[in-house]
Structure 1
Amino acid sequence: MLLMIVSVNSTIGYLGPERFGVWVTLMSFVAMLSFLDLGVGNALTNLTAERATNEDVCHLRQSISSGLLVLIGIALGVALVMMGLSQILPWASVFRLTDPALVREARTGSMVFALGFVAVLFSGGVQKVFLGLQRAAIGHMASMVANMGAILALIIAAEYRVGVPVLLAIMLAGQSIGAIPLIVILWKKNLLSMRAGWRGVRFEAPLVLKTGSLFFVLQVGAMVGWGADLLIVSSTMGAAFAASLAVAQRLFQFAALPIQILTQPLWGAYAEANASGDRAFIRRVLKFSLIGAATLALVLVSILVLAHRPLVERWTDGVIILPISFVVIYGIWSVIEATSSAASVYLNGCYVIKPQIYAVIIFCLCSIPLKIYLSKAFGLHGIVLSTIIAWIISVPLLYWLFFKDEVIKPLKS
């Protein structure tokens, strides 16, 4: 959260809205393209939790080592494709840019992103292993140290008014170097071995990829339905409007991130409880997490809505001004998102994937046309309104009408 404050406050003043919009849009690709791990990261969480339940260290070591090897192979392949695309994509059209120098900067930034994204994908997989081991706190501490280093580097870089490529490199390094101490911990605990990985990869790879395939579909849907907002705004309204949306997104991350930190570690706990048949634990924790997430989201979002004007003005040096109506609508969506993400952790941990796949497909089919149409009619307001409407149709309504039994099955004795 501190990194978000510094990344905006220290750069938007000298970058200006358009260059800042290019930078934050490229950074948004990290979340938007997370599906390119083919779901292997999420599969590792569930498989690690299940194998940890059996207390078979050899099997657990083989699963972790082979799964991470598969992820390295995927990441390298993704990097090659992205490097090629960075050279041929029409960046002027993507960001609606007219300045040739800014187009060149966007192209160079995309190349930096392609290289850094390899490390981010692998780092995410290592974090997912610790999630499955129910040691997410260790992963959080490693990320905290890495982000503190990124904050320091960002402050120094801003003093020298560096361009978009250098800023991207710093942010991507902050999201990936935290994996280094985590790998050392796995190795020292005898849970990571190159030899075990190569020996078991032909057995584990099909299982990891099969388990990950359903998560892959979910991640693709999330990318299309949720993650592409900045790209849609950049290409239809311009990079300057994307900067305003990016500031709003980062503002409400101060409500979303604490809830995510509290609820995401439950993924591994749900998976282990589901594997061992501990339904009472699942019922108790799910009820507590949903009520807690909704309550905390309401409190944090209310504070952000009431204090948004001085916060945003000071944060962006007055470059960005967000209308109160837009902030209120985005706050409503933030409460919905925080609560539904707590429910998603339960569904993923208990491997209730089929209803989520149908939901994300319907969400994409509803939200993308709505976003394109309503953004033309209502600007940035239309983007958020489209998201809320599509979510109501595709999640609570769909689950209640067609998947109620499947969704509550892990709760039944």
Structure 2
Amino acid sequence: MSWRVAERAGHARAAHRRPHDRTRRLLSGVATALVSRAAGFVAPIVLVPVTLPYFGTDLYGLWMAVAALVGMASFADLGLGSGLMTKLAPCHAHGDDDRARGYISSAYLTLSLLAAAMITLLWLFAGGIPWTSLFNVSGEVTSGQTRLIALMCLTAFLVNVPLSLITRVQYAYQQVGRSNIWQAAASLTGLVLVLAVVAAGLSPMLVIATSVAVPPLVNLVNTIWFFRRGHRRIRPRLGAVDARTAWELTRLSGLFFVLTVVMSLATNADTLVIAHALGLSAVAGFVIPAKLLAQLGQLVVLVNVPLWPANGDALAQGQLSWVRHTTRRMTVLSVLAAAVPSVVLVSFGDWLFAAWLPVSIGGDRWLLAGLAVWWVLQAALSPRFMVQNAAGVVVPQLVGWVAFLALSILGKWYGARWFGVTAVPWVGAAGYALTVLPAALYGYRRTLRRHRAPAAQERKGEPIAA
């Protein structure tokens, strides 16, 4: 029986080490997220004062409106990216390469076929889409420019849909740091190339084409590097696609898909609402401070996404104390990461924009304060969403975001019409607190209750099912 005693002791030591290793990987992910977001933060700071006068207010506003439409189409991956990361985390924890390869192969095949079909339909029917009406185009921007910009941005986005899966795979396999470095490389590469095109005095259309082409190209290089360097066993192959595995992935991904659709519409509608309520000329005055504050939101996302696979591992082991403790700490960190820079921007943002931009957009501190409150609220709830995502608890989030979408779109439109652009983020923050906040707290408690039984098994020393 001595070998059984030794085996149990080995499992106990591994279980003891696991939280420390998990925490170390999480801290590494947070540190590299700061580096990645610093690169992403530098890019718009440098590019906006260069591209805004180069394009003109109307053309720049159109580009940002199209970018908002592309952001709203982030649901095009059918939720497979989110479902894949949830499914891969336990595969990696238990060394199940065959199952992981099945999930990865199914996701890549599905999204590659989808992207090819969508691109074909986009170009076939582009002539019949009323692009100028969709973006409320007027002034010096022509219908040909509108159509070309929309086609370039949407095509690049669709090409990137399957290629962006590499980020989810790297996160699930605890390579958060490497993934963040690749994302930083994409931001800096895009910055350098766009500046080179502008310096050469080339067409604004080429500037946009360069900007949107960099992310899929960097993801392609990252994908090839990852699967050829140490991860050949999980490399996607057509023969590895399994119907049952694909169905498991699709069933979970369907909920994430619906959630992503609602979130994308709710969080990216501001620019289009303003364009229709006040006209394209008002877009630039909103989108520039919004893009600047959005970098804080992206930082919060990057800091918290490593929690997703880490929580998946902890919940599978029944280590609820680690989940609770880490969630509290990450909530404080997330709020500080959003609040401290926000205070600086609200206090000195008007001076910053006056010195930074060659074109005056005003310096409404109430607008900046509203954007700051919006991102601080999201930062506070992000760690709790990561716990729910890791467990596949999607319905409470979905209920909250559907309510927010219905409430905020109408409220933002009327707010913009009655009080101007400044009202938009304040209406959004109020709606978020009334709808998404209670849903997030309920979903978090529900997730922990669901995993109390495995936690009790762990305390008794019983084996826990994978």
Q: Shorter chain as normaliser: what TM range?
A: over 0.9
Does the Cα contact within 8 Å between 2:388 and 2:443 map onto a contact in 1?
A: no
Specify whether residues 88 and 125 from structure 1 end up closer, same or farther in structure 2 by C-alpha distance, changes over 3 A only. Answer: same
1:149 matched residue in structure 2: 189
Which of 99, 102, 105 is 1:65 aligned to?
105
1:178 matched residue in structure 2: 218
Deviation at 1:367, TM superposition (A): 0.9
**1-structure distance, mates of 2:205, 2:243:** 38
Does the Cα contact within 8 Å between 1:38 and 1:212 map onto a contact in 2?
A: yes
Which of 146, 149, 169 is 1:129 aligned to?
169
**1-structure distance, mates of 2:383, 2:69:** 23
**2-structure distance, mates of 1:99, 1:309:** 28
- Is 2:325 the partner of 1:280? no
CA deviations 1:57-85 (Å, max 9, x no partner) are 22222222222222212222222333345
Deviation at 1:101, TM superposition (A): 4.8
Which of 152, 161, 170 is 1:112 aligned to?
152
1:374 matched residue in structure 2: 415
Deviation at 1:398, TM superposition (A): 4.4
SS at match of 2:362: coil
Deviation at 1:152, TM superposition (A): 1.0
**1-structure distance, mates of 2:249, 2:435:** 28
2:430 matched residue in structure 1: 389
Which stretch has the larger CA shift, 279-288 or 177-186?
177-186
CA deviations 1:349-379 (Å, max 9, x no partner) are 2222110011111111111111121111112
- Is 2:262 the partner of 1:205? no
**2-structure distance, mates of 1:358, 1:351:** 15
Specify whether residues 142 and 399 from structure 1 end up closer, same or farther in structure 2 by C-alpha distance, changes over 3 A only. Answer: closer
SS at match of 2:232: coil
**1-structure distance, mates of 2:331, 2:57:** 37
Report the AA paired with residue 349 of structure 2: H
Specify whether residues 55 and 398 from structure 1 end up closer, same or farther in structure 2 by C-alpha distance, changes over 3 A only. Answer: closer
Which of 103, 127, 134 is 2:143 aligned to?
103
Deviation at 1:410, TM superposition (A): 5.7
1:7 matched residue in structure 2: 47
Specify whether residues 210 and 163 from structure 1 end up closer, same or farther in structure 2 by C-alpha distance, changes over 3 A only. Answer: farther
Matches within 5 A, 1:12-411: 12-99=52-139, 101-179=141-219, 180-188=221-229, 189-195=231-237, 197-398=238-439, 405-409=445-449
SS at match of 1:205: helix
Deviation at 1:310, TM superposition (A): 2.6
Deviation at 1:161, TM superposition (A): 4.4
Does the Cα contact within 8 Å between 2:412 and 2:423 map onto a contact in 1?
A: yes
Which stretch has the larger CA shift, 222-231 or 164-173?
164-173
Report the AA paired with residue 232 of structure 2: N
SS at match of 1:11: helix
Tell which structure's C-alpha radius of gyration is larger. Answer: 2
**2-structure distance, mates of 1:276, 1:85:** 51
Deviation at 1:36, TM superposition (A): 1.1
Which stretch has the larger CA shift, 345-354 or 90-99?
90-99
CA deviations 1:357-411 (Å, max 9, x no partner) are 11111111111111121111112122212211211121223456x6574254367
Does the Cα contact within 8 Å between 2:62 and 2:135 map onto a contact in 1?
A: yes
Specify whether residues 343 and 158 from structure 1 end up closer, same or farther in structure 2 by C-alpha distance, changes over 3 A only. Answer: farther
Q: Which runs of 5+ in 1 are unaligned?
A: none
Does the Cα contact within 8 Å between 1:46 and 1:271 map onto a contact in 2?
A: yes
> How high is the TM-score relative to the length of structure 1?
0.92
Specify whether residues 207 and 314 from structure 1 end up closer, same or farther in structure 2 by C-alpha distance, changes over 3 A only. Answer: farther
Which stretch has the larger CA shift, 92-101 or 297-306?
92-101
Specify whether residues 80 and 207 from structure 1 end up closer, same or farther in structure 2 by C-alpha distance, changes over 3 A only. Answer: farther
Does the Cα contact within 8 Å between 2:293 and 2:372 map onto a contact in 1?
A: yes
Which stretch has the larger CA shift, 87-96 or 287-296?
87-96
SS at match of 1:321: coil
Specify whether residues 146 and 224 from structure 1 end up closer, same or farther in structure 2 by C-alpha distance, changes over 3 A only. Answer: closer
**2-structure distance, mates of 1:83, 1:194:** 29
Deviation at 1:32, TM superposition (A): 1.4
**2-structure distance, mates of 1:227, 1:91:** 18
Specify whether residues 371 and 82 from structure 1 end up closer, same or farther in structure 2 by C-alpha distance, changes over 3 A only. Answer: farther
How well do the aligned residues superpose, as a CA RMSD in angstroms?
2.2
Deviation at 1:327, TM superposition (A): 1.3
Specify whether residues 333 and 275 from structure 1 end up closer, same or farther in structure 2 by C-alpha distance, changes over 3 A only. Answer: same
SS at match of 2:360: coil
Specify whether residues 101 and 357 from structure 1 end up closer, same or farther in structure 2 by C-alpha distance, changes over 3 A only. Answer: closer
Deviation at 1:261, TM superposition (A): 2.3
> How high is the TM-score relative to the length of structure 2?
0.82
Deviation at 1:99, TM superposition (A): 4.1
Specify whether residues 31 and 191 from structure 1 end up closer, same or farther in structure 2 by C-alpha distance, changes over 3 A only. Answer: farther
**1-structure distance, mates of 2:202, 2:244:** 47
